[in-house]
């Protein structure tokens, strides 16, 4: 994050704008709407800017810029067509420790103007960190279509009754749960429909029965293989509603960042022979947190029910009568296949696919190797990096050709994805040379030959 988004209170604050053209007029319009006491410094100004200043009580200083124009100001904006003047304004502002924005010059800015969706008092700011203002404006248009103008009325309603709710619900968690329910239900609909008296009566009824809001719940959420864009809408919604987030090492940072900023985060990750929290304790922790009336998101890489031990976790929840929801996720095999250009099935190569755990307990060969010999079936081994030599050996011992194509996909669907290909005979040596790191996925079968033809993600052969 290159910039920290903040909202400035500028009402009656002295702000200087250097420049008087079309661009300066756009900035002046925003500053005056925010209530700034605006002083424009320019030899000439556009008629619209002059009218804006007259309407809002701003001041035009008909002059060329001087350093003393910054005296007593809290914010500085330069919007002239002259680079040397803009640079001078920047240097002078920096010397005085004043925030400065030079329009269309990110290198001369200590703050930038975002693209704004105004549903006063709700303000939504979108920024591309100065890289692409057009993209920011396009995003603003999409958000404006999604956010009704009546959201401002809803925010005013909540602000007016905030003190009343705080008196009735002094505990922060209970209060947040109350407002979340109010803002998503009938109360909000009544307010946005202009029936605030009815909405206030409904809110008072809710305050009389707050115990109904205090039920704990567990959300077992499939986080997918890594790319945050692969999360379902439901997964994002429940993740952002959770009070506590339990996550493992397969959950990527960008996905974890989607949780509420004030949510408690508990790492319960596992890697080979190193369990941060044993599975039995994870199961019990979910129960305990829900019994404390918390909403708990259990983030699991991939899909909870495909080698994710999700069944064990909800089994204990069910025994203790803890409400839960299971949200499917894109399993690693599907994500890795799509992002590496290796279809799991293909009419010319494979008519079926089998998912197998490659994490062999105690290093033993306890898989049904004789059943893995069909040339028309794709084999996908989860957690098979350490067991790769055994996988290649056993498949060949039980009849698979040494020339059978095999792929190892490292960190599938992320920017760090790497695809390593070979055959059952050569793959062990290739992996020793390439030194991939977990998480990885192994695919075996004729479909691997399509990687070079269909790959688009930029993996490495």
- Is a pLDDT exceeding 70 seen at residue 143? yes
- Tell me the two tokens of residue 454: 């269909």
Is 439 annotated among the ligand-binding residues? Answer: no
Residue 274 annotated in active site: no
What span, in angstroms and rounded, lies between the C-alpha atoms of 241 and 258? 10
User: Which residue, among 99, 143, 136, has the nearest Cα to 122 in the 3D structure?
Assistant: 143
54-58, 78-82, 193-197: segment of lowest average pLDDT = 193-197
Which residues fall within 8 angstroms of residue 254, CB to CB, at 6 or more apart?
Answer: 228
**Under a CB-based contact definition with an 8 Å cutoff, are residues 322 and 216 in contact?**
yes
How does the average pLDDT of the chain come out, rounded?
90
pLDDT the model gives residue 35? 95
Order of all β-strands in the sheet with 59-62: 59-62, 37-42, 14-18, 75-78, 100-102
Peptide bond into 436 cis (omega under 30): no
CA Rg value for the chain? 30
- Is a pLDDT exceeding 50 seen at residue 458? no
Is 107 annotated among the ligand-binding residues? Answer: no
What span, in angstroms and rounded, lies between the C-alpha atoms of 165 and 178? 9
Is 99 annotated among the ligand-binding residues? Answer: no
Is 229 annotated among the ligand-binding residues? Answer: no
Is 22 annotated among the ligand-binding residues? Answer: yes
Residue 415 annotated in active site: no
User: What is the CA angle 144-145-148, rounded to 5?
Assistant: 75
Is 186 annotated among the ligand-binding residues? Answer: no
Question: What are the pLDDT digits (tens) for 16-60?
Answer: 999 999 999 999 999 999 999 999 999 999 999 999 999 999 999
What span, in angstroms and rounded, lies between the C-alpha atoms of 14 and 11? 9
Average pLDDT over residues 340-357: 93
Is 412 annotated among the ligand-binding residues? Answer: yes
Question: What are the pLDDT digits (tens) for 305-329?
Answer: 998 888 889 899 999 989 899 999 9
Among the listed residues 118, 181, 270, 288, the single catalytic one is: 270
354 pLDDT band, cuts 50/70/90, is: very high
Among the listed residues 248, 300, 415, 416, the single catalytic one is: 248
Is 345 annotated among the ligand-binding residues? Answer: no
User: Domains of the chain, with CATH numbers?
Assistant: 14-113 (3.40.50.720), 151-213 (1.10.8), 217-330 (3.40.1010.10), 333-454 (3.30.950.10)
Q: Residue 298: phi, psi to the nearest 5?
A: -105, 100
Is 375 annotated among the ligand-binding residues? Answer: no
Tracing tokens 């799509």 back to the chain, one arrives at 338
């Amino acid at each position: 994050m290159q910039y920290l988004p903040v909202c400035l209170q500028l009402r009656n604050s002295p702000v200087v704008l250097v420049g008087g053209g079309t661009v300066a007029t756009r900035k002046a319009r925003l500053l005056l709407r925010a209530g700034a006491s605006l002083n424009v410094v320019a030899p000439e100004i556009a008629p619209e800017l002059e009218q804006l200043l007259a309407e809002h009580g701003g001041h035009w200083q008909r002059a060329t810029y001087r350093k003393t124009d910054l005296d007593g100001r809290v914010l500085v904006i330069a919007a002239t067509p002259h680079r040397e003047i803009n640079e001078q304004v920047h240097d002078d502002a920096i010397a005085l420790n004043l925030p400065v924005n030079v329009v269309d010059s990110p290198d001369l800015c200590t703050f930038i103007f975002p693209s704004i969706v105004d549903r006063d008092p709700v303000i939504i700011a979108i920024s591309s960190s100065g890289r692409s203002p057009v993209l920011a404006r396009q995003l603003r248009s999409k958000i404006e279509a999604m956010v009704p103008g009546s959201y401002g009325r809803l925010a005013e309603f909540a602000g007016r009754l905030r003190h009343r709710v705080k008196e009735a619900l002094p505990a922060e968690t209970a209060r947040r749960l109350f407002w979340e329910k109010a803002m998503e239900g009938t109360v909000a609909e009544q307010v946005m429909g202009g029936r605030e008296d009815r909405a206030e009566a409904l809110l008072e009824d809710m305050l009389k029965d707050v115990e109904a809001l205090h039920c704990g719940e567990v959300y077992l959420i499939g986080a997918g293989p890594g790319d945050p864009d692969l999360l379902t809408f439901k997964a994002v919604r429940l993740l952002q509603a959770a009070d506590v987030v339990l996550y493992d090492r397969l959950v990527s940072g960008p996905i974890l960042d989607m949780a509420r900023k004030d949510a408690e985060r508990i790492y319960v990750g596992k890697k080979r022979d190193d369990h941060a929290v044993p599975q039995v304790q994870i199961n019990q922790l979910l129960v305990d947190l829900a019994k404390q009336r918390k909403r708990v998101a259990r983030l699991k890489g991939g899909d909870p029910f495909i080698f994710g031990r999700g069944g064990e976790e909800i089994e204990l929840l069910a025994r203790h009568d803890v409400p839960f929801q299971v949200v499917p996720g894109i399993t690693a095999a599907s994500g890795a296949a799509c992002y590496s250009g290796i279809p799991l099935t293909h009419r010319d190569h494979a008519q079926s696919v089998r998912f197998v755990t490659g994490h062999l307990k105690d290093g033993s060969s306890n898989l049904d190797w004789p059943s893995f010999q069909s040339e028309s079936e794709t084999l996908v081994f989860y957690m098979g990096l350490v067991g790769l030599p055994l996988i290649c050996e056993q498949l060949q011992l039980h009849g698979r050709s040494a020339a059978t194509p095999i792929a190892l996909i490292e960190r599938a669907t992320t920017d760090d994805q790497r695809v390593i290909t070979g055959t059952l005979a050569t793959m062990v040596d290739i992996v020793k040379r390439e030194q991939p790191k977990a998480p990885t996925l192994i695919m075996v079968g004729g479909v691997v030959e399509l990687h070079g033809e269909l790959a688009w993600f930029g993996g490495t052969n």
